[in-house]
Amino acid sequence: MSSTLPRKSAALLVQRVVDQGVSLGDCLSAELDRFDDRRQRALVQELVYGTLRWFHRLDAILGRLLSRPLKRRDRDLHALLLVGLYQLLMLEMPAHAALSETVEVARQLGKNWAAGLVNAVLRNAQRRSDELLQAVNALDSARWSFPEWWIRRLQSDWPDDWQPILEAGNRRPPMVLRVNLGRIGRDDYLEQLRSAGIEASASALADSALQLRQPVAVEKLPGFAAGLVSVQDAAAQLAAPLLQVADGQRVLDACAAPGGKTGHLLEQAPGLEQLVAIDRDATRLQRVEQNLQRLGAGGRARLLAADAGDPAQWWDGRPFDRILLDAPCSASGVVRRHPDIKLLRRDADIPVLARAQLRLLDALWPLLAPGGMLLYATCSVFKQENSELLQAFLARRADVRESALPRDLGRPQAIGRQLLPGEQDTDGFFYARLQRI
């Protein structure tokens, strides 16, 4: 397979995200399946993730290098130039490889006329790199490589922390494992990793979490296929223990896909009376089943493809002792893992998401048994989706009170606690625990 194909694939993937609004998660796997060579697959991922992560910075630089914008029919060329700039300016790849192969991709796109343009633009960028980087720093969106609206929201919500949040969002995320403590101790699994030549360290945030020094393919993890370990950020691993599940309880996992927290709940309390896991996307629900099968927990949860916010369609009338509402959100706290979110989200999405989150809360609260507990969780750092929303919910209900979370967990809010991205090298998560009285 030609060495230019990874660059061509990366450019076309970037174009799909930027111009068509396609989620990277929906198009990356199929593209990677075209490559048998592991190194080429890795190069595609590096170029796509890196170009999207630094899109706003690279696009501002490209605007200074082009005498006039490219025509709409040449948006593939625009994406290719961004991939080329990422190689030269951010990845610091050897110039001869980045230049010659990116120029060749222009020809493969059927645009022989553009080969000279691509060569000239990239060589110009190489010569003027320091000048260009300094010039675009005058624009907040280019300096931080985030949309303007995103920066303004963070400045409003987190006036003392917005810069570290943005910096954390642009860092490469670590690979973190969740050890199945019902099957093996964390120290024992750590020893298995060492025996396999994989360096890792225990996380202070979650008792089940191990952070790898370098990411590895899951097939290389001892016992992965047998369910000894899963891949999950340490902040996400807090949900199951915070919900305080116990054997004999009836538990609802609303919005369950892809099933990481579902599996963790069953690891925490294998003797649950019942675990009902709901997701409105039947295709994504299949991933929950696959994850449970790998953990040896297949058949131990009732999986329902339904709208959690419409219980009349699926609830059997029996109350739940515990409810996990991992609410659909902006995902602004996990942007380091999903840089396409910067391109896919809009400021107007946030109030829409908040209304949907409140709808879920209102619909699920009556399903909770008296004395029962609901854990509200998002991977967002925007207060409109988190503490502000819960203040509105509590203000209109007399049968709810906040159940305190550990004092060492993140930042205290009016309601709940916020883990900011990068703190203890985790993703950004919000948690609030509510008890029905």
Active site residues: 379
Pairing status of strand 250-254 against strand 320-326: parallel
- From the list 140, 175, 1, 165, the residue with the least C-alpha distance to 60 is 140
Residue 423 structure tokens:
């703190």
DSSP 26-50: HHHHHHHTT---HHHHHHHHHHHHH
118 membership: H or E segment, kind and range:
helix 115-127
**Separation between Cα atoms, residue 407 and residue 84, nearest integer Å:** 47
How far from chain centre, in Å, is Cα 342?
11
Question: Percentages helix, strand, coil for the chain, rounded to the nearest 5?
Answer: 50, 15, 35
Look up residue 41 and give its two tokens: 């697959």
Residue 247 tokens, joined = 């054997």
**DSSP string of 83-113, one letter each residue:** HHHIIIIIS---HHHHHHHHHHHHHHTT-GG
Read off the DSSP letter of residue 252: E
Looking at the DSSP assignment, which residues form a beta bridge with residue 375? 324, 433
CA nearest to 85, candidates 42, 126, 130, 43: 126
Burial of 131 from C-beta contacts in 10 A (0-12 / 13-18 / 19+) = exposed
The answer to whether 306 and 280 are in contact (CB under 8 A) is yes
- Rounded (10°) CA dihedral 288, 30, 76, 96: 110
